Amino acid sequence: MKLQDQLDGITEQTRRLVQPERLEPSERLVAELFSSGIEQQILPVGSIAPEFSLPDTAGRIVRSADLLALGPLIVNFFRGRWCPYCMAELAAWRDVYRELRARGALLVAISPQTKHQNDLLRQQHPMPFPVLSDAGSTIAENFRLAYTVPLYHQKHYRGILVNIPFMNGDASWRLPLPATYVIRPDGAIAFASAYADFRVRPEPDEVLAACDKLQ
């Protein structure tokens, strides 16, 4: 099954089970992000990707420069383990990881969650690739992906028991757009995809095709 088909299934189930008025804050946020033009402002293909050094779930520092010395790097920015769309996307990447490695590429997943929360993610959903903590969405900001959750949506998250400050270890309420980048060994961006609508993600096959073009 295509990843987007799985994500659409999550959306359909949510709309069946949750009253429309409780879904309205998320619909409003998506519309506002669209209107802001944030999708067009992300770091584009051809740009030089910002370097990063971030801790993995064991506290080890993972450096993008070290990974790029080994080949192309896929960077997946996700919101957190509380997001079912993000978890479905990470599972899809787990399922194609052997194909990814056969192409000589590497993958890291980055979220603003604390190291502890990312560690819980990997305990519950073992992943073969590093899951890194980007405190305050600092690296996401460098890729022009970060935004501050508006007050009405902060209230919505609290109402559904998603405690973003606790999960992220700070009170900034900063999150990234879900995004996927392919970075060439020379640091140039070869593929860039981010959506204002958190329910939409690129297909792994599309991203792998971008890796193939680097051979």
- Separation CA 189–CA 146 (nearest Å): 18
Predicted TM-score (pTM) of this structure: 0.96
Q: What is the homologous superfamily of the domain 70-215 according to CATH?
A: Glutaredoxin (3.40.30.10)
Would you give per-residue pLDDT tens digits along the chain (215 residues)? 899 999 999 999 999 999 999 999 999 999 999 999 999 999 999 999 999 999 999 999 999 999 999 999 999 999 999 999 999 999 999 999 999 999 999 999 999 999 999 999 999 999 999 999 999 999 999 999 999 999 999 999 999 999 999 999 999 999 999 999 999 999 999 999 999 999 999 999 999 999 999 87
- Residue spans of the domains in the chain: they are 70-215
